[in-house]
Amino acid sequence: METIRRACEAAVKKRRCAAIAYTLSMRYRSVLVFTAGLVAIACRSGPAPASSPPHPVARRVVAVSFDGLAGERHARLQRAGAYRDPDGLGAFTGGLVVARALPVNPTLTSPSHIAIATGLEPSRTGIVANRFHLPGTPITETVSGFDYPIGAETIWESVRRQGRRVGSLAYPGCNGPDQRRRADFGMDYVQRPLLRAATLQLSRNDFVTRSGAPGGGDAPPASTTLSLASERQEFPGQWTFVLTALDTVADGAARYDTVVVDDDQDSANGRLATVKAGQWFAVRWRLPHPDGGTALAGGWWVVRQLAPDLSRVELYRGELNCTEAYPRAFREALDEHVGFWPGAPDSDALGRGVRGSSGLAPEEYLAQVRRFSEYFTAAAQLAIAQEEFHLLLAYQPIIDEVQHTWLFVDPRQGMYSPGLSATGGRIIDETYRLADRATGQLARSLDLRQDALVVFSDHGIAPVWEAVHLNEALRRAGLAVLAEGTGKPRVGAASRIVAVGSGGCAHLYVNLIGREPTGVVAPDQRDQVVGAAARALARLEVDGEPVIEAMFPRSQLAEIGLDHPHSGDLVVFLRPGYGATAEIGGALSTPATVAGQHGFRNTHPEMAGVWLARGAGVPGQYRRRAPLTQVAPFLSRLLGLAPPGGPG
């Protein structure tokens, strides 16, 4: 302990512009903080004890998480009258309105959604980050917070234990590999497509002129064939599509202006699409499903360019997917009434397009965003109309997806320009309006005299401009090593301490003898290694600016709700603007690959989300701020049930 104290005092002297302190014992309590005067505030709240379940007040409760919906932007849009649906996000006056809903630390998707579902902080759930290291495993191994067993009862488990029925539509945490992360019926977030998206470049040589009736113009039809194969073993298959270019205008010149798409294998599908340049179309077909039924698979494609002489034809082939849901009857109902899983908006293709290469234009990307939101909304409407449930947990990821990609608001961001910032702001605002529209559609699908609608978000967002490679900083300090004999630089198992970064936060784990099977640090040397890591990170700068905001050793983790064995021996929060990575073997930092990020401390106003409710049993109450850990007890009270962990 004395070693750590001396190390941190030296760091304080070396950096006069920052206030750095370190917890050493119960008599020496403080936080490593780089912003002078910053007060460590931990938002912790568990469910209030319930001596007996309250009287039921809502027949059904639909709870919707709009991932990343930032409280500050929501309030600004509402004040500006940007929401247009009369039953949407602006229609909660008279119900419960929490202007600033406070997530747990770190403000990441998995820890926050599990905290919302349990009413407990990560110190009780064990879900301390999107990815984290488990004690007792090799130091270079990590697990996902999205599917690792949760250390506390969830709202869906609690409701089912008390004899009620629960549905989940891709709610993070309730779509994992075991029964504890399953509902009575549900839809999973598709992680692996049948076939990844691609942009295809074709020329006149790829087309074969066909005989037969022309398209009405002066050029004969010209066709090309696309053969595709599934990349997933559980859904094997090969598909062939024929694209035929037509000249449809008889004007004395051969000018191709239309593309016809046919399924060459399934005559029952007939003609799939007839489109012009810039128009989207769907391809779809049936294939066997491992549950014994059939699945609807498909994808959304767009003809981006169609030269009149076919010298350049560009086709964006969106990823191919099928819906993953359970049980079979619900999955097949989704296929029939909602359609195939359309896939998330393609940020990689958008990036290529913005940089001037083959990809997607902003409006094409926004079309994907709309389609994704409409799919989630339609799935929820189907569940409301056809399924029996008491609690439905719904989800929409579009706001988070778009803000990661489009939050260009600071000139320090590498791709920032006034024009790109304006385009990004317009697209983000449109995404919030999509959430407004989805909320209104769900409200109209319910009878709010008997049902309740609850809307919340897991965190907000902040702009970032630099990715900081923490393991490289540790390597340069002699604390981490490169793995030998690997292609991409990786952290070696002989490292003394390793950082696992997620967004604006990182957990640093000492490679401890007796705890990790790869351990190289004796237990009596742990504090020395943590102190050396603290000194190394305290010196990190980008363009003369320190990047670390706060550091917490294990003895201080209770103050931020992270006192759990899964947490690091040192937990580090970066300043907004800087994201943490686990990379090693290169520069200390590089320009950020995303525009927006979260995972920073929950004391930052831009990390706050929203919490809104209306309908049966919902009190009329405006609250300036409240922790999101109060959502699970609130949902339980609406249903007249005990909260998670309470008596059944």
Which of 368, 417, 430, 372 lies closest to 595 in space, CA to CA? 417
pTM flag (> 0.85): yes
CB atoms within 10 A of CB 311: 11
Give the pLDDT of residue 177.
77
Domain layout of the chain by residue ranges: 2-30+466-591, 191-322
Beta bridge partners of 545: 542
Q: What is the DSSP letter of 245?
A: E
Q: What length does the chain have?
A: 648
DSSP state of 204: G
Residues of the chain with pLDDT under 70: 1-56, 212-214, 265-270, 646-648
Task: Please report the pLDDT score of residue 630 as a whole number.
Answer: 98
H-state helical runs in 162-253: none
Question: How many angstroms separate the CA atoms of 173 and 117, rounded?
Answer: 8
Q: Measure the CA–CA gap between 287 and 557, rounded to whole angstroms.
A: 50
Which pair of tokens denotes residue 197? 């998206």
Q: Are 453 and 508 in contact (CB under 8 A)?
A: no
Q: Which fold has domain 2-30+466-591?
A: Gyrase A; domain 2 (3.30.1360)
Strand ordering across the sheet containing 185-187: 325-326, 185-187, 166-169, 391-396, 60-66, 451-456, 609-615, 96-102, 621-627
Q: What is the pLDDT of residue 646?
A: 62
Helix ranges restricted to H, 338-488: 347-354, 362-386, 398-406, 418-445, 470-476
Beta bridge partners of 430: none
CA 395/CA 560 separation, integer angstroms: 27
Distance CA 415, CA 411 (A): 8
Chain centroid to CA 277: 32
The verdict on whether omega for the bond into residue 193 sits within 30 degrees of 0, i.e. cis, is no
Give per-residue pLDDT as tens, 146-155: 999 999 999 9
- Chain CA centroid to CA 525, Å: 38
> Tell me, what's the pLDDT at 217?
87
Per-residue confidence (pLDDT) for residue 178, from 0 to 100: 83
Give residue for tokens 């460590």. Answer: 40
Sign of CA dihedral 275, 277, 279, 280: positive
Closest by CA position to 607, among listed 104, 116, 33: 104
Contact, 65 vs 458, CB < 8 A? yes
Nearest alpha-carbon partner for 527 in 542, 510, 540, 545: 510
The 10s digit of each residue's pLDDT in 103-113 is: 999 999 999 99
Sequence-separated (6 or more) residues with CB below 8 Å from residue 559: 31, 40, 42, 552
- Quickly tell me which residue has 């130091």 as its tokens: 139
- What's the rounded Cα separation, in Å, for the pair 519 and 516? 5
Task: Provide CB contacts within 8 A for 576, sequence distance 6+.
Answer: 462, 463, 464, 504, 600, 604, 606
- pLDDT score for 7: 44
